[in-house]
Amino acid sequence: MLLSLAKSALRTIPARNFRSLAGLTVFYMHGLVRKHADERVQRLHLTVDEFRATMTALREWVRFVSIEEGLTLLATGAARAPLAVLTSDDGYIDNHDVLMPLTREMGIPLAVFVSTHHIDTGARFPTYLTRCFAYHAPAGAYPLPGLDEPLVIAEDDGARTAASNALGAAVYRLPQEGVRDLCAALVEAIGADRQAELDAAYVSDQPMTWTQVKAMSDAGVEIGAHAHEHAILHRKQARAEIEHQVLTSKTMIEERVGRCRYFAFPVGNIAHIGPDAVDVVGKAGFDAAFSTINGTLAASEDRFLYPRVMLHRDSRVDEFNFPFTALRHDRALPARQAQVKAR
């Protein structure tokens, strides 16, 4: 009851009264679809209508700027008005075909963080393969590398969701070699022909090509690195693997596109970044790096662990809270960043 009353009161306060509170917030998303073929598999993707409504609501509170402008304003102490940066992770084909034209129409600068192995080869992302398998593999028990017990898939949706969660958790915790083995086993178990059928059905999760990435860069989109194979750079990841993932992604972007000044950690929350990863990224020549720890950039104590806030599918429903989306996490942000870097 009290929460409802507080929210009702907030709605009556003019947006201008929040402007000194908002600072600089970096939002992130993944992709866009006009309509979901299966929301369970495509759960990272907003619909075009959802995105447009969310951006329209956000622009009532904030002014969108590029990463470069936002960081410059932050460094000079001029980021007092509510500012926001829009970023998109992974590098799906709809970023080129749908997101870029839409952000240009709306006058919103865009930065896209790409995983270079997937751009280079067209290989689907591990998390997509796990969702495809969980929701489309025949019922049965599957012994898979990286799992302590066979993965049991039943026909009911709850069991399939549990299987999806178990596979996703494995991708998040395994060293990269284990992720490669798990993904190969999933494709083998479901069958290459069946996987090709699913890939054709879920074009949304297809990576861009280098030609498309270069076209985005030429159109003014900032292209950043998102590790070579979208590897989760957690504490169990070998430093040599981290260096390969970080440096290869930066080098490939610079060779094929041009400058690469920014990095975004895949998945990127506290459990998904280790101290070696922060160290490697900090020494790789990037101007800044972004996590998915919540907060505003003004509260950050580390430019290689800048916070971001995810655009969820229901963000527009709670639009009056947008000025506080990141701000309410600021008090805990330095401690959370320190937790990532602790040996």
Predicted structure pTM score: 0.93
SS3 (DSSP) at 262: strand
The two tokens of residue 34 are 């006009």
Alpha helices in 80-205 (DSSP H): 93-94, 100-106, 116-121, 126-136, 157-173, 176-190, 192-201
> What's residue 22's pLDDT?
56
Instruction: State how far the Cα of 96 lies from the Cα of 32, in Å rounded to an integer.
Output: 10
- Report the pLDDT value the prediction gives residue 169, as an integer from 0 to 100: 97
- What parts of the chain have a pLDDT lower than 70? 1-22, 313-323
CATH superfamily of the domain spanning 2-118+207-341: Glycoside hydrolase/deacetylase (3.20.20.370)
Q: Which residue has the tokens 């304003």?
A: 73
pLDDT digits (tens, 9 = 90+) for 47-101: 999 999 889 888 888 899 999 999 999 998 877 778 999 999 999 999 999 999 9
Q: What is the pLDDT of residue 242?
A: 98
Q: What pLDDT is attached to residue 318? A: 63
Termini Cα distance of the chain: 44
| pLDDT given for residue 31 in this prediction | 94
pLDDT at 10: 45
Structural domain spans, the chain: 2-118+207-341, 126-201
Nearest to 52 by CA among 108, 93, 90: 108
